[in-house]
Amino acid sequence: AQSVTQLGSHVSVSEGALVLLRCNYSSSVPPYLFWYVQYPNQGLQLLLKYTSAATLVKGINGFEAEFKKSETSFHLTKPSAHMSDAAEYFCAVSEGAGNQFYFGTGTSLTVIP
């Protein structure tokens, strides 16, 4: 069975500070992992994805995530937070191409000026 755990439902950072959003997964097979961002009253937008290629994945808006098999983690980072990064972030896991996704409960990121 697959599952995703996002530690911290709310994260606040100062503008210009490091952003770290945590995601741990469980999967019985090598997973596909995704991060999505959701701005208020909008749909989800794909930030980045890991599909068994390079373990460090770069996405849009300066975000990146590193797949660590030994830690079953796929944390999302950005070196310097911008006010426009304030949004809800969802981690998701899939056990294969085209298979169903399992989403985490989301982390709301607040950026303090």
Partner 1 sequence: SQTIHQWPATLVQPVGSPLSLECTVEGTSNPNLYWYRQAAGRGLQLLFYSVGIGQISSEVPQNLSASRPQDRQFILSSKKLLLSDSGFYLCAWSVKGWSGGYTFGSGTRLTVV
CB nearer to partner 1: pick between 42 and 55? 42
Tokens of 29: 């097979």
DSSP three-state, residue 61: helix
Please tell me what DSSP assigns to residue 84. G
Among 73, 85, 106, 111, binds partner 1 (CB under 8 A): 106
CB of 85 to partner 1, least distance (A): 19
CA nearest to 29, candidates 65, 56, 69, 57: 69
Q: Which residues lie near partner 1 (CB under 8 A)?
A: 32, 34, 36, 41-46, 49, 51, 90, 92, 94, 96-98, 100-101, 103-106
